[in-house]
Amino acid sequence: MERKAFLKTLGAGAAFALTFPCVQGCSKEDGPGLPVPTGVDFTIDLTSSEGAMLANNGDFILKNEVVVVKNLEGNFIAASQICSHQQTDQVRFIEDEGGIFSCSTHGSRFSQTGAPLNAITNNPLKIFNTELNGDILRVFD
């Protein structure tokens, strides 16, 4: 199907949205504006099936809108799954540059301390505390 025909099948509104996603410039108001998690305090039993998904360096899970990571050195770290750019929930851990957080929505990248690594945003990514007691990993504000 040709592009024009494809867009026609979507209807004018959808075609406009697909063609001009940031026609007046992307701003915070254009994003879904999901709230950055606050008051976070949960635990993960590393011997559970959930915890098993954090067995290897570089593994991460998403829980309560937090990205919980076993970084490439084997330390547990955690960051907001909600991006500091336009508040989508697309933040993940990737193994580039020794391990960083990255948001696929517009390409923001953040260090493990939440510092922005490119010009997409100047807003730091929220980082949470982690504490390991035996096999119990606590993630908290």
Contacts to ligand FES by CB under 6 A = 31, 83, 85-86, 88, 90, 103, 105-108, 120
Q: CA–CA distance from 13 to each of 9, 10, 19, 35 (Å)?
A: 11, 8, 10, 27
Q: What is the DSSP string of 37-85?
A: P-S-EEEEETTSHHHHTT-STT-EEEETTEEEEE-TTS-EEEEESS-TT
Q: Which CB sits closer to ligand FES, 37 or 51?
A: 37
Q: How far is the CB of 83 from ligand FES (least distance, A)?
A: 3
Q: How far is the CB of 103 from ligand FES (least distance, A)?
A: 3
Contact 139, 66 (CB under 8 A): yes
Q: Which CB sits closer to ligand FES, 77 or 120?
A: 120
Q: Which CB sits closer to ligand FES, 78 or 120?
A: 120
Q: How far is the CB of 106 from ligand FES (least distance, A)?
A: 3
